[in-house]
Amino acid sequence: MNPFDYLQADNASNAVKLASAAAAGKYLGGGTNLVDLMRETVERPDTLVDVTDLSRRIEARPDGSVMIGAAVKNTALAADRTVRRNFPLLSRAILAGASGQIRNMATVGGNILQRTRCTYFYDEASRCNKRDPGRGCDAIDGFNRYHAILGASPSCVATHPSDMCVALAALDAIVHLEGPEGVRMLKLVDLHRLPGGRPDIETELRPHELITDVELPALSFAARSTYRKVRDRASYAFALVSVAAALDLGDDGNVKDVRVALGGVAHKPWRALKMEAALRGRAATEVNFRAAAEGELSDAAGLRDNAFNRTRQADDRCRPR
């Protein structure tokens, strides 16, 4: 680990000031990803601004929306009464990730900005365009079981590893930001980028922008939702593929409205808009679900170890529980 200066921020504006004043300042959440990457010298900040004392509030508003402070711990969000009752897919997604210990440390802001688990990204001895732009990508012809089947590029086939973000993508969550130029909002689905030719640029965030809150807009049918995850062991493993879904069924058995997002398949949480469009107004049958899933995956491209993911995903989604 390289040496660094450690500072604590007591409010968002101070955090932004402190981080922007440093040559290579970074925000520190629970540290569960950043400390690990610093130890491997993949991340080399000269200053850490601890933002875990910023907002830890979860505010359920009368209109059905919820405001979540960026410093809220993953455990606290999953355990929140309103979230469990009205947005179960979010509780379930968080609880499907990591371990009890890690969820107690990890923050909402840090979870959103956690970096890929591609093993080559962590290993300084291998070639990785994300770590070292232009050097090549050892994953494309290497071990790529956990890699992308959608939206990847010849430069990078890494996936975004978060479970929580898959639920946030399905819910159209809005990320509130504060930066040196002021405050703004971004939809979570617009925050992460596809790799293209620059996999080292992972988000649309401007330098030193801080996530202050995440907002869940009201969604009438979010209570009818869930999260499912396929992984190499029953617990404590990253997703090979995961699905967050919410369904609004009419009295006629037809899909009135639906939200679907996929995890473990792309460089960003993947909102399955094609699938949603294919399902709206159609009968909620296994055949239709399967056809809609196949449609979403029509552009999917498999690599040596992850081609199974295409079929796995279609099957898993369709199988009634």
Partner 1 sequence: MQGSIQLEISRRVLLISSAATIAVNGVVTRDAAAQAAGSQMNNTEVSFVVNAESRKLNVDNRTTLLDALREHLHLTGTKKGCDHGQCGACTVMVDGRRINSCLTLVVMHEGDEITTIEGLGQPGNLHPMQAAFIKHDGFQCGYCTPGQICSSVAMLEEIKANIPSHVTENLTAETKTTPTEIRERMSGNICRCGAYSNIVDAIAEVAGTKA
Ligand X SMILES: Cc1cc2nc3c(=O)[nH]c(=O)nc-3n(C[C@H](O)[C@H](O)[C@H](O)COP(=O)(O)OP(=O)(O)OC[C@H]3O[C@@H](n4cnc5c(N)ncnc54)[C@H](O)[C@@H]3O)c2cc1C
Angle at 213 between CA 208 and CA 216, to 5 degrees: 135
Measured between alpha carbons, how far is 96 from 108 in angstroms, rounded to an integer?
Answer: 15
Q: Is 273 in the site for partner 1 (CB under 8 A)?
A: no
Does 174 bind ligand SF4 (CB under 6 A)? Our answer is: no
**C-beta closer to ligand SF4: residue 137 or 191:** 137
Out of 43, 80, 138, 163, point to the residue binding ligand SF4 (CB under 6 A): 138
From 139, 205, 262, 265, residue interacting with ligand SF4 (rule: CB under 6 A)? 139
* Angle value at C-alpha 316, between 310 and 320, nearest 5 degrees: 155
Report, in Å, the least distance between residue 150 CB and ligand SF4: 14
Is 245 in contact with 260 (CB distance < 8 Å)?
Answer: yes
Altogether, the residues listed in the chain come to a count of 321
d(CA 308, CA 118): 18
Q: Which does 6 bind (CB under 5 to 8 A by kind): ligand SF4, ligand X, partner 1, none?
A: partner 1
Q: Does residue 60 touch partner 1 according to CB under 8 A? A: no
Please identify, using beta-carbon distances, which residue of 147 and 259 lies nearer to ligand SF4: 147
Considering the complex, what minimum distance in angstroms separates the CB of residue 210 from ligand X? 4
Compute CA distances 283 → 144, 147, 313, whole Å: 37, 33, 21
In the list 158, 164, 261, 293, the residue contacting ligand SF4 (rule: CB under 6 A) is 158
Beta-bridge mates of residue 254: 283
> Whole-number minimum distance, CB 40 to ligand X, in Å?
12
The DSSP symbol for 205 reads P
Residue 114 touches which of ligand SF4, ligand X, partner 1, none (CB < 5 to 8 A by kind)? Answer: ligand X
Compute the distance between CA of residue 45 and CA of residue 277 in angstroms, rounded to an integer.
Answer: 43
Strand partners, 24: none
CA torsion, ordered 60, 258, 275, 84, to nearest 10 deg: 40
Q: Which is closer to ligand SF4, CB of 143 or CB of 221?
A: 143
**Six token digits for residue 285:** 């049958």
* Whether the Cβ atoms of residue 163 and residue 96 lie closer than 8 Å to each other: yes
Binding-residue pattern over the window 81 to 110 for partner 1, x denoting contact by CB under 8 A: ---xx--x--xx--xx-xxxxx-xx-----
Site for partner 1 in 7-46 (CB under 8 A): 14, 17-18, 21-24, 28, 30-32, 35-36, 38-39, 44, 46
Query: Which bin fits 172, alpha (ψ -120 to 50), beta or left (φ > 0)?
Result: left
The distance of closest approach from Cβ of residue 65 to ligand X in the complex, given in angstroms and rounded to an integer, is 20
Alpha-carbon dihedral 46, 11, 162, 150, rounded to 10 degrees: -80
- Provide the minimum distance between the beta carbon of 263 and ligand SF4 in the complex, in angstroms, as a whole number: 17
Q: Which residues bind partner 1 (CB under 8 A)?
A: 1-6, 14, 17-18, 21-24, 28, 30-32, 35-36, 38-39, 44, 46-48, 50, 52, 75, 78-79, 84-85, 88, 91-92, 95-96, 98-102, 104-105, 234-236
Q: Which residues bind ligand SF4 (CB under 6 A)?
A: 116, 118, 120-121, 128-130, 137-139, 156-158, 199
